[in-house]
Amino acid sequence: MTSQAATSPVASDDTLIDRYRDVRARTEALCETLEPEDMVVQSMADVSPAKWHLAHTSWFFETFVLARGDDYRCFDPAYEYLHNSYYNSVGAQFPRARRGLLTRPTVDEIRRYRAHVDASLIRGLERGLLDGAARGVIELGLHHEQQHQELLLMDIKHVLFQNPLYPAYRETPAREPTEAPAFAWIDCPGGIHSIGAEAGDGFAFDNEGPRHRVLLEPHRLANRLVTNAEYREFIRDGGYRTPSLWLADGWALVQTERWSAPLYWVERDGEWFEFTLAGLVPLDPAAPVCHVSFYEADAYASWADARLPTEAEWEVAAAERPPRGRFLDFGRLHPAPASGPGLQQLYGDAWEWTRSAYQPYPGFRAAAGALGEYNGKFMCNQLVLRGGCCATPSGHLRASYRNFFYPHQRWMFSGIRLASDRGDRAA
Amino acid sequence: MTSQAATSPVASDDTLIDRYRDVRARTEALCETLEPEDMVVQSMADVSPAKWHLAHTSWFFETFVLARGDDYRCFDPAYEYLHNSYYNSVGAQFPRARRGLLTRPTVDEIRRYRAHVDASLIRGLERGLLDGAARGVIELGLHHEQQHQELLLMDIKHVLFQNPLYPAYRETPAREPTEAPAFAWIDCPGGIHSIGAEAGDGFAFDNEGPRHRVLLEPHRLANRLVTNAEYREFIRDGGYRTPSLWLADGWALVQTERWSAPLYWVERDGEWFEFTLAGLVPLDPAAPVCHVSFYEADAYASWADARLPTEAEWEVAAAERPPRGRFLDFGRLHPAPASGPGLQQLYGDAWEWTRSAYQPYPGFRAAAGALGEYNGKFMCNQLVLRGGCCATPSGHLRASYRNFFYPHQRWMFSGIRLASDRGDRAA
Amino acid sequence: MTSQAATSPVASDDTLIDRYRDVRARTEALCETLEPEDMVVQSMADVSPAKWHLAHTSWFFETFVLARGDDYRCFDPAYEYLHNSYYNSVGAQFPRARRGLLTRPTVDEIRRYRAHVDASLIRGLERGLLDGAARGVIELGLHHEQQHQELLLMDIKHVLFQNPLYPAYRETPAREPTEAPAFAWIDCPGGIHSIGAEAGDGFAFDNEGPRHRVLLEPHRLANRLVTNAEYREFIRDGGYRTPSLWLADGWALVQTERWSAPLYWVERDGEWFEFTLAGLVPLDPAAPVCHVSFYEADAYASWADARLPTEAEWEVAAAERPPRGRFLDFGRLHPAPASGPGLQQLYGDAWEWTRSAYQPYPGFRAAAGALGEYNGKFMCNQLVLRGGCCATPSGHLRASYRNFFYPHQRWMFSGIRLASDRGDRAA
Amino acid sequence: MTSQAATSPVASDDTLIDRYRDVRARTEALCETLEPEDMVVQSMADVSPAKWHLAHTSWFFETFVLARGDDYRCFDPAYEYLHNSYYNSVGAQFPRARRGLLTRPTVDEIRRYRAHVDASLIRGLERGLLDGAARGVIELGLHHEQQHQELLLMDIKHVLFQNPLYPAYRETPAREPTEAPAFAWIDCPGGIHSIGAEAGDGFAFDNEGPRHRVLLEPHRLANRLVTNAEYREFIRDGGYRTPSLWLADGWALVQTERWSAPLYWVERDGEWFEFTLAGLVPLDPAAPVCHVSFYEADAYASWADARLPTEAEWEVAAAERPPRGRFLDFGRLHPAPASGPGLQQLYGDAWEWTRSAYQPYPGFRAAAGALGEYNGKFMCNQLVLRGGCCATPSGHLRASYRNFFYPHQRWMFSGIRLASDRGDRAA
């Protein structure tokens, strides 16, 4: 957690209660269409069962706010071990890869746990029993819960995809087909810029700071995300069979995993379909390609004679714009085609892989204590993604927001924006 | 499937309907205490989710009886692939190790599937539309479903054991502690005997025949199963740390798996507890040791200066007695201490490991067609167990019944009876 | 080791010295065509480097004969750990799967170690310092060394096969092509027979006894081993793609390992070649198929509407004949086509898979002490092979000899003889 | 390969011949103390057998220089496949992890291959048949061979370490014990600096360019490498048991691999020893800690309340100094204690882990063709190390030199230099 969070002006208790209720209710609303059976299964080690997300987000408030108060009545002492994600400072954790083996507590029991935590926490806020530090942690806990809202959607999508029946998470309204705007380069100037979250300037995770200067060379960014049609062309051109396009580790993975398309693409009788949260649908050529690994994004960029942007390039461009885009509230639960002139889709639709390794900013120091484990210990082997996606809760994103995944992962809503060093190159 | 089954006198339709209803209802009754969450999870590749058992046993009747009739309306064509266990002749199978990834069909949908199959099959029987072959397959299907009743209990026990909360499947009534009778050898004569199921002499699986002659040398059998107290003594004496007691493959497994006790034994503050279907309870010293692998059974026998019986030795002794014992109807769901003089516990309580490799009897030939895959293709790498256990449906067992597992497996209710070649040895 | 060996009349010291020198020299002669580089590599965990075989066979004499005397000067104390194969009673072992990581001692150092052991042991014999028990162990050690002569050839063949250059171990003289005799069944009577080695009746390993009675039903044995031509027909007929022919574990292996032919068959431009100790040669259709697993042998038998023999069936037939055949001295280092009428190839050419699990004979008890680990602890998960092969030292084999391998293994010279229960079946 | 190399002034043919002979002879000299047995083994996938290094470095000249000429007589066409490391553009490669399975060609055959390549190449140079591009590739090939000289030493050290006899690669002269200078921070200014190799300014690998501007904040560098004594204190203080010091991936590895000390540390009776190329020796407390992974380097820095330097911080400091240090010619084959005031050990002794991900510099583009695979495709998942080590050929290193390894690797001579952001911190 961040000194930013701790020192930034925290909302009044009334506002905080409202926000707390709203965020917590939204998590539960995401489970409305799920059966208990859907909420138990863990389809790979990276995925957590939906009921675990419901419990863990409550555990966060219980552990870091309620249990530090004097008179909290613990709901069940066994839950600490079961629902701790990775906080070694708190204690041992039930092994992550085995979360899907826990049938109990049931979904109903976890809902009662949530209600218990909510009642305790709201009572504390109503009675003014929580100091500024605690309120800061509640603020962090709400952002944490929003992250798990997105994870829950990513995870349930992966769970349902294991099933040859391709069940839908939720029906979404049909849309008129549209076309994406033509590809174009947008020129971006070089120079010294500042990126990162400024302490005291609203909530930010600790990994977004300190704000610091970076030196950029002149470059260009694509006007929109790479489309399914463009990516299909990469496939048709033998992209998955051409080692010279790939990083060595990526090419090794293509061969051992026999990758030949993005994660959720399904070929039937020569036609491409895509598994979405609304079930299996024909591939929309104008929509952004999604669920690609860093290796695929990088190989596509090589094929297109371009490269991926750095996170600083992205942030400098994004910081000039309000963080608006097609997020979770848009209701589509899938990336939509771009429209309009200029730099589009910086926010929402699909996370954008950058070529930047997820590393500490100059001067970064993780906070002391358990919440210092939130971000800092993951600053190795991962790459930064920027901009949020169709499953990111609205209001959660900002220009300095750093998401991070391993280069082989692709169950998140990850897409591609091209960049280029020089003016003389075409995609 | 067996020519025996096909040629043995099949029950009249009315009796068959009654038996069908009874067996099918018992399967569902076994799930009464389970939550939907419990019924989805697969805790290892050997285990199947409870809801899969509910579906697969229905699939069996649908595939091998109903679908071969003219006018069956299929419940859902996708189910064939999802619920086929291992019948290559029927078609491809959803991978066994991934059964726990299927959240759909839900438990409720599978119950509707069961009702649909039941209604269709009973209608066929009531209307006399099913010929003798079909009625023979129904008979087989009922024995098959009884096998899955036991599997369902084995599997749910393993699932619940993964949970550090050690939830109970069902509370069972407390019992007065009793003592087991003292260990004693029972002399058994040698000579030429016949074992195996006789064609036409009631139902038997194909692997139980043909009935054939075997040559036995004089030997001795223990009067009862090895108790927990005796096995605890083996542990105290360093049994799990003494390689000379073990088969080479067993010793390798002890080291890689770090085995130090039977599967469900749990040590707490120096005391042994045992996980049962009624939850975690103090180890009953008089009860039979259970959930041991063949390797452990064999090492125990070496330690006791004895050996395991052959399946022929067991069958010759058992064939003289009615197949009565503490099976599923006894309601304890756990092996109980022996009592009384003479050869005890041949049936029920715990399956008895034999030293006999599971191999075809002389003259055995698997049936043609899909049902020939029922038993014959597993006749390699496994060992025979005899006698049934506390989770075996009452009425399911007989002297010629051959169960079989790999030597490393121990999630079934498997115990140990000692045997000996000579009269001058003590256990 | 066996009470048989210990109590059987042991050769006079002079004869024993001659035999010792002969066997030891033959081991070294097998390495004449090898480069030091060839003698280091371990191509899979089952294989040992040639230099390890040279050392381990010396270690056997050192550990079980010399080190038990009073005045032996140890060559190098570190060798005990490095060259102990699997004798837990002797002490810890350098891990088997890592034998190929040891570059030292070098081949030359190991040759000096051999010379040291030989000089010490022959001195002891010459001076009459070794008692009957020690001379019995020397006898065992010579049979042990002969087993390693065959292992050395199996292993070096596997090592050289890893190399796309397919280097030859040794050139062998070309032979005129011949035809195999037509397939025919030989009738064999049932009844009570005795098999196994009789104590006091010449050397035998402990696993060959006790001699005991078996009950056989009338059956038939094929007149010769299955030929490459016959096996090629099985492949052409889709044998490796037809699950109904296979044991379940075998079929799983066919798919994961992508087996489509015996181990050393290599297809080039539609023609089959076979890697032999003389390099890659065109497949000889008349020669016995070799280097097949038990699963392949069993599947072939199913395809041929036959079965594999039991070890008792084989031994009863073989015991009537002298143990003569094309063994190592024949010099071909590869199975040769059968010739002549009647039951051929019982000995030599290729080991014959039986359907018999490798289990203790009635009354078997492993010897006390380290040499009790020689055979008994492997009596699980393996199947018995009979008859020796082209790489078995001449004079090593006898009718009661039991070899054993896991059903998936095929780097030994293993072939197929068919058997049948009834008179009305054709292969 | 680099445009730098191609455009930089290439040596005259006479000088090139001399350098070629010198570098090639040095490679062979490194094998003088090795037995053929030592030169075959591959102790893990990262390691290559010594004889493979001898062959591959020749393959490089053969493939990229000789085979592109008109009249080269190929030594053996099979070698291309066997000795290609990872150049997909050249063709398929014998699998890296199986290099240790190749016993042929033998060491002698490979020496003949080397002589053949050398004669052909020198003949071409003497006759002036090689154009500037070819001479540029020869230059690259010599630097490539120097890299393999270091790899050969790293690899043979790892091979010999597998052996419980701990054989020495070569005896090295004993040295007087010395003390390392006290730890001190050296202040380094911030500002805009240029790093990277300048085109035309002497040989450099392509990954060292383009030269470009970087922005540094003021920082501090440790005056010398972390010593064994200091690292031992980290261990004593529970460093390997304290998760809060570790990156998450590092902590996971510590647990699965049970790391408790650097790779070659061996504890005996409470004393630490270190395996070196001269065998097992008592740990020198004043010498730099070596053979640590990035995770260990990072955890040590956390424990010391410091951090690792960035590669730019290192290069800016190093560029002011001549690239002199204790490299391979120093003859010690192991890192030696620092001495003297100021910034010590920037070059030689041990590679210094930086916190910089190995990524392309702004404007980097891999060369076209096979030699473009030399560096660029590895720019993911690895971290940069700087400064060379005791096994790096003298003259091979320069300030812009970028070495790279995965964070878990530690068989290279990798050490730790601390850095710090602020002036008020102590190590």
pLDDT single digits (tens) D328-337: 999 999 999 9
Q: What local confidence, expressed as pLDDT, does residue D174 receive?
A: 79
**Cross-chain Cβ contact D212/A217 below 8 Å:** yes
- pLDDT mean over C278-284: 97
B37 vs A43, A106, A159: nearest CB: A106
For chains B and C, count residue pairs whose Cβ atoms are closer than 8 Å. 78
Q: How far apart are CA B336 and CA B360, in angstroms?
A: 33
Please answer whether residues A232 and A272 qualify as being in contact, where contact means their C-beta atoms are separated by less than 8 angstroms.
yes
Q: Which helix (H) or strand (E) covers residue B414, if one does?
A: strand B414-415
Instruction: Kindly state the helix (H) or strand (E) to which residue A215 belongs, with its residue range.
Output: strand A212-216
Model confidence at D111: pLDDT above 70: yes
Q: What's the pLDDT band for C238 if we cut at 50, 70, 90? A: very high
Q: Identify all chain D residues contacting C41, using CB atoms and an 8 Å cutoff.
A: 40-41, 100-101, 103
**Residue of chain B whose Cα is closest to the Cα of C241:** B88
Supply the pLDDT for residue A190: 94
pLDDT of residue B13: 79
- Tell me if B75 sits within 8 A of B110, measured CB to CB: no
| Model pLDDT, residue C303 | 98
pLDDT tens-digit map of C371-393: 999 899 999 999 999 999 999 99
If you average pLDDT over residues A225-236, what whole number do you get? 98
D422 has pLDDT over 70: no
Task: Quote the pLDDT of residue C1.
Answer: 33
Mutation target among A381, A408, A420, A421 for the D interface, most CBs of D within 10 A: A381
Question: Rounded to the nearest 5 degrees, what angle is found at the Cα of D289, between the Cα atoms of D285 and D294?
Answer: 155
CA distances from B112 to A190, B54, B116, C89 (A): 66, 11, 6, 61
Question: In a 10 Å sphere around its CB, with 0-12 CB exposed, 13-18 middle and 19+ buried, how is residue D273 labelled?
Answer: middle
Tokens in use for B369?
């067609």
Tokens of A4: 């930013």
Residue of B152, B149, B136 lying closest to B205 (CA atoms): B136
**Does residue B160 surpass a pLDDT of 90?**
yes
Q: Does the structure show a pLDDT above 50 at B45?
A: yes
Chain B from 305 to 334: CB within 8 A of any C CB: 307
Query: What is the average per-residue pLDDT within C346-362?
Result: 97
When CB atoms are compared, the residue of D35, D103, D163 closest to C163 is D103
3-class DSSP state of C326:
strand
Residue range B100-125: mean pLDDT, rounded = 97
Q: What is the mean pLDDT of residues B50-78?
A: 95
Interchain CB distance below 8 Å, D104 and C38: yes
pLDDT category of residue D3 using cuts at 50, 70 and 90: very low
For residue A7, the distance in angstroms to the closest alpha carbon of chain D comes to 22
CB B221 within 8 A of CB B344: no
Closest chain C residue by Cα to residue B370: C244
**Residue D11: predicted pLDDT:** 67
Q: Does A260 touch chain B (CB under 8 A)?
A: no
| pLDDT above 70: percentage of residues in chain D | 96
Q: What confidence score (pLDDT) does residue A400 get?
A: 98
| pLDDT reported for residue C409 | 98
Q: Which residues 286-305 of D have a C-beta within 8 angstroms of C?
A: none
Rama region for A121: left / alpha / beta (φ>0; ψ in -120 to 50; rest)? alpha
Chains that touch D (3 or more CB pairs under 8 A): A, C
**A425 pLDDT tier (thresholds 50, 70, 90):** very low
Nearest to A224 by CA among A143, A115, A357, A336: A336
Range A94-118 average pLDDT: 98
- Residue D12: per-residue pLDDT: 77
- CB contact, 8 Å: B81 with chain C? no
Model confidence at C6, pLDDT cuts 50, 70, 90, reads very low
d(CA D24, CA D58): 9
Question: Dihedral of CA A126/A130/A132/A136: which sign?
Answer: negative
* Interface contact A51, partner B, CB < 8 A: yes
Average pLDDT on A253-257 reads: 97
Q: Can you give the pLDDT at residue B100? A: 98
C184 close contact with D: CB closer than 8 A: no
Tell me the pLDDT band of A56, cut-offs 50, 70 and 90.
very high
CB A24 within 8 A of CB A226: no
Among candidate residues A353, A351, A421, the one with its CA nearest the CA of residue A392: A351
Contact (CB<8Å) C247/B192: no
Contact residues, chain C, for B192 at CB < 8 Å: 215
* DSSP SS3 for D357: strand
Categorize the per-residue pLDDT at B293 as very low, low, confident or very high, splitting at 50, 70 and 90: very high
**What residue of A is the nearest CA neighbor of D372?**
A244
- DSSP 8-class letter at C267: E
Pairing type for strands B383-386 and B403-405 reads: antiparallel
How distant, in Å, are the alpha carbons of B243, B295, C79, C84 from that of C370? 11, 20, 17, 11
Q: Which residues pair with B268 in a beta bridge?
A: B271
Q: Does A88 touch chain D (CB under 8 A)?
A: yes
A71-99 tens-digit pLDDT: 899 999 999 999 999 999 999 999 999 99
Q: CB distance A88–D244 less than 8 Å?
A: yes
Q: Do A103 and B164 touch (CB under 8 A)?
A: no
Please state, as a whole number, how many other Cβ atoms lie within 10 Å of the Cβ of residue C277. Answer: 20
Convert the pLDDT of each residue in A151-201 to its tens digit: 999 999 999 999 999 999 999 887 888 999 999 999 999 999 999 999 888
The pLDDT of residue B1: 33
Structure tokens at B242: 């003494």
pTM: 0.95
The whole-number pLDDT of residue B24 equals: 98
Q: Which residues pair with D219 in a beta bridge?
A: D188
Q: Which long-range contacts (CB under 8 A, 24 or more apart) does C54-57 make?
A: C54/C27, C54/C28, C54/C107, C54/C110, C54/C111, C54/C114, C55/C79, C55/C82, C55/C83, C55/C105, C55/C110, C55/C113, C55/C114, C56/C83, C56/C84, C56/C85, C56/C148, C57/C27, C57/C141, C57/C144, C57/C145, C57/C148
Please state the ipTM of this predicted complex: 0.95
Of the pLDDT bands very low, low, confident and very high (cuts 50, 70, 90), residue B427 is very low
Q: Are D276 and D333 in contact (CB under 8 A)?
A: yes
Cα gap C135→C124, rounded to integer Å: 10
Cα A408 to Cα A150, A253, A386, B300, D6, distances in angstroms: 19, 8, 17, 48, 35
Region B90-95: mean pLDDT is 95
Q: Chain-wide mean pLDDT for chain B?
A: 94
What is the pLDDT, as a whole number, of residue D10? Answer: 59
Q: Do chains B and D touch (3 or more CB pairs under 8 A)?
A: no
> How confident is the model over C304-343, as pLDDT tens digits?
999 999 999 999 999 999 999 999 999 999 999 999 999 9
Q: What is the mean pLDDT of residues C293-297?
A: 98
Query: pLDDT tens across D240-257, in order?
Result: 999 999 999 999 999 999
How many CB atoms are located within 10 Å of the residue B127 CB?
9
pLDDT for residue B7: 41
Interval A299-334: pLDDT, tens: 999 999 999 999 999 999 999 999 999 999 999 999
Q: What is the mean pLDDT of residues D217-226?
A: 97
Q: What is the DSSP string of B168-207?
A: -S----------PPPP-EEEE--EEEEESPPTTSS---GG
- For chain A, the chains sharing at least 3 beta-carbon pairs closer than 8 angstroms are B, D
B204-234 pLDDT, tens per residue?
999 999 999 999 999 999 999 999 999 999 9
Q: Is the predicted pLDDT of residue A227 greater than 70, yes or no?
A: yes
CA C192/CA B142 separation, integer angstroms: 40
Within an 8 Å CB–CB cutoff, is residue A162 touching chain B? yes
